[in-house]
Amino acid sequence: MVNTKKMTTRTMVVGALLTALVFVLQFMGASIRFGTFSISLVLIPIVIGAVTCGKGIGSWLGFVFGIAVLASGDATLFMQFNAFGTVATVLVKGAACGFAAGLVYEMTVKLFSKNTKTASYIGAIAAAVICPIINTGVFLLGCLVFLMDAVEHLAGGGVNLGEFMIFGLVGINFVFEMAVNIIFAPAISHIIKVVSKK
């Protein structure tokens, strides 16, 4: 009973700290741009939350990421074309990437359960990889369903929209987010686990 209470308190504290970090990183990152959009350093705390606290906290942090994107004005251009589609896309992509990171981590740890250290490390890397894939994938799907008018506006005339979406809209950002996640998220997750055990 004490262990469950301790775990719940730990999860709430880590979740609250990472929630604040999501807002800070989103507003800081909004001023750093590669291509069309600002870079997203926010995926790091989302992965850390998903790895250390589970897919529920991962989903929450992703949802908060969506709210922060909307509040920071990063989605203003898309809001002009389809407010509902923009809000739905931004919130769903955030929550989905956090949930997926937690789910992939749990599945990987179960798969490699014979070696706990290896399982945790591989799981953290798998979570760090899947998070930007889902984030970008759901964004592109949202563009196809709701936001093609905005995509056409951004692309200008005489451009293949599919190529523009992959290479012009998300390409550089996706590579940057993936690299940052793979480098930092597993190491930070490991540090948080070690500290919380002590």
2-29+38-197 is a CATH 2.120.10 domain: no
User: Of 4-13, 102-111, 165-174, 189-198, which has the strongest mean pLDDT?
Assistant: 102-111
pLDDT band at 65 (very low <50, low <70, confident <90, very high): very high
User: How many angstroms separate the CA atoms of 164 and 166, rounded?
Assistant: 6
> pLDDT tens, 125-178?
999 999 999 999 999 999 999 999 999 998 887 788 888 888 878 887 888 888
pLDDT value at residue 4: 46
Of residues 72, 148, 60, 141, the one with CA closest to residue 97 = 60
pLDDT band at 33 (very low <50, low <70, confident <90, very high): low
Is the pLDDT confidence value at 1 over 60? no
| Mean pLDDT, residues 93-118 taken together | 91
Bridge partner residues of 38 (DSSP)? 33
Of residues 70, 83, 80, 69, the one with CA closest to residue 39 = 69
Residue with the bigger pLDDT between 45 and 36: it is 45
Tokens coding 65: 């990421």
Of residues 45, 56, 40, the one with CA closest to residue 17 = 45
pLDDT band at 9 (very low <50, low <70, confident <90, very high): confident
Asked if 123 contacts 102 with a C-beta cutoff of 8 angstroms, the reply is: no
Please state, rounded to an integer, the average pLDDT across all residues of the chain.
85
User: How many angstroms separate the CA atoms of 181 and 37, rounded?
Assistant: 18
pLDDT value at residue 82: 97
b (16+ CB within 10 A) / e for 39-51: bbbbbbbbbbbbb
CA distances from 16 to 20, 24, 72, 137, 185 (A): 6, 13, 20, 27, 18
